[in-house]
């Protein structure tokens, strides 16, 4: 089983830009490569912050842009999203008994839990798993088959990443999620967004992957707390392969337009500038 991860698309109305970036142009570039090079994937998952201001027009723009994607798409909620306008446009999106955008999907090769960590009534952009969502997670952990990997997706990391400006708005009750893992079952892998930086590691015995954003990025800054520093580092998508119990994650910077050359080529080794490497 193979699938692609994108996150933090931060869509605006058609033609809208944010920090000099048109998210629709970036997503269209990613879709063109995904359609061309990954025609065997099961789905593309976008793990939250679909829209920047949660506008109805932004979700309409997102739906129009996604129309060219040949693979099925799974959409999740992030702190910038709003459920009501989202559902007006994506009426067939996931909806659990509590009305949240989350689900358990069981495939032949793996099971996927997607969680809705959006706190629409919160004082800031931090996430939360309320009692209803924790109950959903408990049921999903119990119902997911034991004979295949369990992959858990959520927008907000439930732990501090070391980026003080983003750790102020992480999942507020990550300790409750960790307790549930201890009591019931640990996922085999966790996937998140929100931070706009690529980060990997192990939390509570669970390996995790935080996907770099499609839109603007967050700078590598381990000191600033009150303001979030932004950059125009190139966006990535991740290609995830699940084979038995093995999970492989490749990340690709899809807007790179520089040269590709053979490392064994003496001329490339001797090049004094990028221009000499060709195209």
**CA 70 vs CA 39, 42, 44, 98, 189: distances in Å:** 8, 10, 10, 31, 26
Average pLDDT value for the chain: 97
Q: How far apart are CA 45 and CA 115, in angstroms?
A: 12
The encoded tokens of residue 85 equal: 């306008």
Q: What's the mean pLDDT in 86-101?
A: 97
Q: In this model, does residue 215 exceed pLDDT 70? A: yes
Which segment of 66-70, 103-107, 196-200, 254-258 scores lowest on mean pLDDT? 254-258
Phi, psi of 232 (to 5 degrees): -110, 35
Q: How far apart are CA 7 and CA 30, in angstroms?
A: 12
Q: What's the mean pLDDT in 59-84?
A: 98
For the stretch 169-207, pLDDT in tens is 999 999 999 999 999 999 999 999 999 999 999 999 999
Q: In this model, does residue 279 exceed pLDDT 80? A: no
> Structural domain boundaries of the chain?
2-277
Q: H/E element holding 138?
A: helix 131-143
Q: Write the class of the CATH domain 2-277.
A: alpha beta
DSSP letter for each residue of 152-185: EE-SS-SS--S-HHHHTTSBTTHHHHHHHHHHT-
The encoded tokens of residue 127 equal: 């996430």
Q: What's the mean pLDDT in 233-252?
A: 97
**CA 47 vs CA 138, 185, 261: distances in Å:** 20, 22, 34
Secondary structure E strands in the chain: 2-6, 43-46, 73-75, 103-106, 111-114, 150-153, 189-192, 199-203, 206-210, 217-218, 230-231, 236-243, 246-253
For the stretch 111-140, pLDDT in tens is 999 999 999 999 999 999 999 999 999 999
Q: What's the mean pLDDT in 138-147?
A: 98
Percentage of the chain with pLDDT > 90?
Answer: 97
Q: In this model, does residue 251 exceed pLDDT 90? A: yes
> Would you state the pLDDT for residue 257?
87
Q: In this model, does residue 270 exceed pLDDT 90? A: yes
Q: In this model, does residue 278 exceed pLDDT 80? A: no
């Amino acid at each position: 089983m193979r699938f692609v991860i994108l996150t933090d698309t931060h869509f605006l109305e058609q033609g809208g830009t944010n920090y000099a970036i048109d998210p629709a142009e970036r997503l269209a570039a990613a879709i063109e490569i995904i359609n061309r090079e990954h025609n065997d994937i099961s789905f593309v998952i976008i793990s939250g912050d679909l829209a920047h201001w949660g506008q109805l027009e932004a979700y309409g723009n997102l739906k129009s842009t996604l129309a060219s994607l040949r693979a099925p798409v799974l959409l999740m909620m992030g702190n910038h999203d709003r459920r009501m306008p989202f559902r007006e446009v994506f009426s067939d999106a996931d909806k659990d008994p509590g009305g949240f955008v989350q689900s358990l999907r069981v495939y032949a090769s793996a099971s996927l839990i997607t969680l809705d960590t959006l706190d629409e009534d919160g004082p800031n952009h931090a996430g939360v798993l309320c009692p209803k969502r924790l109950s959903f997670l408990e049921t999903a952990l119990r119902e997911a088959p034991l004979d295949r990997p369990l992959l858990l997706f959520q927008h907000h990391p439930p732990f501090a990443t070391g980026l003080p400006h983003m750790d102020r708005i992480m999942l507020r009750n990550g300790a409750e999620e960790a307790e549930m893992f201890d009591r019931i079952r640990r996922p085999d892998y966790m996937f998140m967004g929100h931070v706009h930086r690529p980060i990997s590691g192990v939390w509570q015995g669970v390996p995790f992957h935080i996907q770099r954003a499609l839109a603007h990025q967050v700078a590598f800054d381990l000191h600033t707390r009150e303001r979030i520093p932004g950059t125009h580092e190139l966006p990535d998508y991740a290609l995830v392969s699940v084979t038995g119990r093995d999970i492989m994650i490749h990340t690709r910077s899809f807007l790179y337009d520089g040269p590709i050359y053979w490392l064994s080529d003496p001329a490339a080794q001797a090049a004094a500038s990028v221009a000499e490497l060709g195209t």
